[in-house]
Structure 1
Amino acid sequence: MKDNDSFKEQKLNKFQLSIYLLPIVGWVPALWTLYRKQGTREQQSISRLSVTLTLAWLLVYVLLWLGAAQTSEFLTLRLLYLNGLLTSGYILTCLGLMIRLWQGKSVRLPGISCAARKVARKQDI
């Protein structure tokens, strides 16, 4: 008797896509997928989204952290608080995208998905 492995393959594919969406560390396998120029269209799309989202978060995080280190105590507290809110938002966004992925819904973010696609076209990824 033969098992139907289509459900197993589908779950494995969703698990792999979920790894790309992991906060803070998911960009590494996503970047590797983009670098190799292999994978399905969905893997390429989610990889671009993950790398773009992580780089945007990291850029703003570093700018706020540097700004907090260079200003008065009054402004430092506000900038670090904003930095914490930004990081919390980034993590919740990644988790929300993972939930949408497992529900079978579209894994896109307005603006960021578009920007990732445009950058990929310019870089020929």
Structure 2
Amino acid sequence: MPPRPSVDEGAFADRREQQRLRLFIYLIPLVGFFPALWCFYGKGSRRSATLVSRRERQVSRMAITLGLGWLVATILVTTGSSLAELPEVGRLVLGSGLTSGYFLVNFWLMVQLWRNQRLWIPGISDLGDRLP
């Protein structure tokens, strides 16, 4: 019969699973941007900044960087295509490519999180580390 985990080990495992669930929520495309923003910049929340783990802050930075990058790129494609008088089809193809890429990157990060692997994207992670 295997030994039963102590109360402290069980509580630690529960906190770890809750953190992992929060990380999955941060990586949901479009919707996860707002909880990630709240985690990273939220002042006066019930969880103080010292209780937020380093990994949670890193994932929230990455989700914020990806979300803002997608938004800026979409705005640039929309305004650039109207200024350059590109056909509507070209704008739609570029916009759908950007959105599909954003969703696929977030899905890939979720798979990496599920496998307990390192969440890192060249360039994006470095840019996210520079957030204030």
Shorter chain as denominator, the TM-score bin is 0.7 to 0.9
Relative to total residues, which structure has the larger helix share, 1 or 2? 1
Asked whether the equivalents of residues 68 and 77 of structure 1 are also in contact (C-alpha less than 8 Å), the reply is: no
Instruction: Kindly indicate whether residue 108 of structure 2 is the aligned counterpart of residue 96 of structure 1.
Output: yes
Taking the TM superposition and a 5 Å limit, the aligned residue runs for 1:20-31 are 20-31=26-37
Instruction: Kindly indicate whether residue 39 of structure 2 is the aligned counterpart of residue 33 of structure 1.
Output: yes
- Give the superposition deviation at 1:77: 1.2
- Give the superposition deviation at 1:44: 0.6
**Hey, what's the Cα distance between the residues in 2 that align with 1:102 and 1:14?**
9
**Hey, what's the Cα distance between the residues in 1 that align with 2:21 and 2:78?**
33
Structure 2 unaligned blocks of 5 or more: 44-48
**Hey, what's the Cα distance between the residues in 2 that align with 1:60 and 1:41?**
28
Higher Rg:
2
Aligned counterpart, 1:43: 56
**Hey, what's the Cα distance between the residues in 2 that align with 1:51 and 1:7?**
27
Instruction: Kindly indicate whether residue 22 of structure 2 is the aligned counterpart of residue 13 of structure 1.
Output: no
Structure 1 stretch displaced more, 24-33 or 2-11? 2-11
One of 50, 63, 66 as aligned partner of 2:79: 66
Asked whether the equivalents of residues 17 and 46 of structure 1 are also in contact (C-alpha less than 8 Å), the reply is: yes
Summarize deviations over 1:66-110 as a string: whole Å, max 9, x none: 233444463x31121011011001001101101100110011111
- Give the superposition deviation at 1:14: 1.0
**What fraction of aligned residue pairs are identical, expressed as a percent?**
33
Q: How many residues align?
A: 119
The ranges of structure 1 where at least 4 consecutive aligned residues each deviate by more than 2 angstroms after the TM superposition are: 1-11, 66-74
Taking the TM superposition and a 5 Å limit, the aligned residue runs for 1:72-83 are 72=85, 74=87, 76-83=88-95
**TM-score of the superposition, structure 2-length normalised?**
0.80
**TM-score of the superposition, structure 1-length normalised?**
0.84
Structure 1 unaligned blocks of 5 or more: none
